[in-house]
Amino acid sequence: MRFLKRRKKVTKEDIERAIEIIDDKEFEIISRLGTLERGIKEIFLKGENPTIPKMIAYKRAKLLANIIEGFKDTLRGVALEIDIKADFDKIKTELPSVFELINSFHTSLTTSNQNIEQLIKMQRKYVTRMDRSIHQSLARMEDMSESVEEIKREFYEKEGKAILEELMAEDAEFAEAIPAEFKRK
């Protein structure tokens, strides 16, 4: 029976490998985010509005960058717990008289580890839901072809203005270079 098999214990090396993989993915996402940001700035500087898919891709890349940073923090916490557990195991073998106190603390750490695993699962579900939500939003936008102009206008008024304000707040040179009619929008 598959469910009776013991799971392999996660080692610090496993965590470090996972962090390296996540670092690679984070680099890709941050690179993509930079590309999108530069593209959106160029479009705004021309006095035009970026396309809806480009703005959604920008928002999605920004969200994924934040989620990945959360994953890395979680993995660093797990690595710290593994180190602490190893230290306590060492103390347990060297000082048997202190074993009971350490054992209760070890139990607390085990519970924390389980909670972190649940947190990781929740974050995975969150990413999946966000991805699904983004895909559903894109599908809905494609289905609304007869009211595209109205949707574009509303979207530009809300999201375009928000992104423009965000980019202007982050980059003073960009804010000065943007056409005056865009600043009034």
Mean pLDDT of all residues in 31-44: 93
Residue 145 pLDDT grade (very low, low, confident, very high; cuts 50, 70, 90): low
Exposure class string for 19-46: b at 16+ Cβ within 10 A, else e = beeeeeebeebeebbeebbeebbebbee
The pTM of the full predicted model, rounded to 2 decimals, is 0.53
What are the pLDDT digits (tens) for 98-130? Answer: 667 777 778 887 887 787 888 888 888 877 887
Is the pLDDT reported for residue 15 higher than 50?
A: yes
Q: For position 37, what pLDDT does the model report?
A: 93
Distance separating alpha carbons of residues 172 and 170, to the nearest angstrom: 7
